[in-house]
Every structure is written in structure tokens, then in C-alpha cells.
Structure 1
Amino acid sequence: MKSTIITLLLLIAGCTVTFAQCDKKLNLVTSKTEHLDGSGNLERTADEQTIIEINDKNISVNIENGKQTLTGTIKSNNCNWQTPFKEGKSVINTTLKDEDGNGEKDYVLTIEGKDGKVTLVAESPQSPDRKLRFVLDKFEEKK
């Protein structure tokens, strides 16, 4: 009986750590955007700062200090991080539009941490021949 209770407590503690970042306000910063074709091959690279802010319901993307701003509503967030902000994966389904409310497009954002490197890949079912990949300089809780 004691071993069952201890196992249950360890399982609960592990789940708490796994979901520790999933309900947080997040700040992602990158200095480079990689443009990929539909197969994931690199087409070109742009040196530009992009700041992505995510909370439980909304997302905003600010490219080059307001050169382009996108906002959206998060439809779903499948979040599983073994080590918060370092090892794990989140898959976010969202719809983004520009600051004028134009150009609404669905996106699947995949944030993945592996071997200490965190990347974000943005894909749109409406443009299956193009993807964006960001290697994150910062991935942290927004205070």
C-alpha cells in the first residue's frame, strides 16, 4: 500500500513538472528566420528579430520592431515538456492576421526543445509549400 501511494505521489509530481510551463505566458525571441520549402529544405535566411508572445488564449508576433505585427487566437495547445524551456514539445493551432485584420491564415506552430536547442516551425495548411523555422535565442516565461 505504501509503495502504491509513493508511486502515485511521484507520478503527480512528475506531471506537475511536465505541465509547469504549459499555462504560463511565454516570450520567444529569435534573430533569424529560415524560409523552407514544403519538404523542409532551406530556401533562404533572413536576419530579423522576431518576438513571439504566447498566453493560454492569444498569440502575437512582432517582426523587426513593428515592421509587421500578427495576432491570433489559440485554438489548441498540446504541450509536453520533460524539462521546462529545454526538452519537450508544444503544438499550437492558431489563426493569425495582420494589425489591420487582413490576411487571416491558419497555422500549426511546433515548438520543440532537443539537446538544449529550441526551435519553432510555423506551417500553414493554406500554404503547404512553405514553412518558417526559427532557432530561438530566448524561450522563457514572460513576467
Structure 2
Amino acid sequence: MKTRKILKTALVALFLVITGTTITYAQCDKTVTLTSSKTTHFDENGNISKTKDETAVITISSTDITIVPGDEDHKMTGKITSKTCDWKVPYKEGKMVVKSIVSGDGGDDKDITVTIEGKDGKVTLTFEAVGLNGKIQVVADKFE
């Protein structure tokens, strides 16, 4: 009888772990659009070099990323080359790292890494590009 109860408890625990993992990973493959109203540029030493009030829209699907920093003239799109996802609470607590090669209207490709971090309900996106000295960061005002 005792062995049966232990086995039943173990099966329930395993089910809960699998369900939680499935829900978290399902969030990673859903399309999400994050919108920000302020862009902050950092130099290679981590100091703020420029801040700009602009609406930036970042859309991430399971296969593609689109970045519109300020206006459609600077729109960049690309295929996602890798994605890691570790959300405790989707888009509130945890982290996602997306790598892609994006191109804009000018045709120049950029190898980028976007790190999306959620902490205390605040979602921050940090952009790094090969050849770019420094980082660009936005805080999501809303996401859907």
C-alpha cells in the first residue's frame, strides 16, 4: 500500500514537471510582438551614449525576427539561426536569446544577438551586432 502511494505521488510530480515544461516551451514558439517607446544606446564600456524617444517594434516568431526601430525605413528582418528559452513565467521572469542574420532595405546583413530578459515583470531587450561597438537596449512597454 505504501509503495503504491509513493508511486502515485511520483507520477503526479512527473506529470506536473512535464506540463510546466511544455507550457514554458510552447511560449517560446509562439509569435510575440514587443513594443517600446525609448531606445538607449550604450558604448563599448557600458556607458549610455544616446537615448532616443521612438517607438520600436520587435516581432519574434518561431522562425523569423522583424525589428522596426523608429520607422519603417529602418526595418530589419531575418531568419532565426538559434534560440534558447528559459522562462519561469513567460515574458515576465526568465530569459530568451535569439540569434539571427538580419538585413535592412540597404541590403547590408548584420549578425545579431537579441537577449530578452524578464525580471520583476519588466521585460528588457538588449541588441548586440557583430561590428557594432556597444549595445542597444529597449524596455518593452507592451507585448502581445
* Same topology, TM > 0.5: yes
2:111 alignment partner in structure 1:
106
Query: Percent identity over the alignment?
Result: 42
CA RMSD after TM alignment: 1.3
1:84 alignment partner in structure 2:
90
What is the TM-score with the length of structure 2 in the denominator? 0.90
**2:32 counterpart of 1:26:** yes
Distance in 1 between the 2:43 and 2:56 partners?
A: 20
In the TM superposition, what is the alpha-carbon distance from 1:80 to its structure 2 partner?
1.1
Can you list the C-alpha shifts for 1:77-99, whole angstroms capped at 9, x where unaligned?
Answer: 10111111211100001111112
Distance in 2 between the 1:43 and 1:64 partners?
A: 18
One-letter identity of the residue aligned with 1:132: I
Q: Which one of the candidate residues 124, 137, 142 is aligned to 2:129?
A: 124
What is the TM-score with the length of structure 1 in the denominator? 0.90
Looking at both structures, which has the greater relative contact order when contacts are Cα pairs under 8 Å and sequence separation is at least 6?
A: 1
8 Å Cα contact 2:58-2:65 kept in structure 1:
yes
Distance in 1 between the 2:8 and 2:65 partners?
A: 45
Rg: which structure is higher? 2
Structure 2 residue ranges without an equivalent (≥5): 1-6
Q: Superposed, which structure 2 residues align to 1:36-115 within 5 Å?
A: 36-100=42-106, 102-115=107-120
Structure 1 residue ranges without an equivalent (≥5): none
Can you list the C-alpha shifts for 1:9-50, whole angstroms capped at 9, x where unaligned?
Answer: 111122123223101011010111100012322111011111
Structure 1 or 2: larger helix share?
2
8 Å Cα contact 2:60-2:66 kept in structure 1:
yes
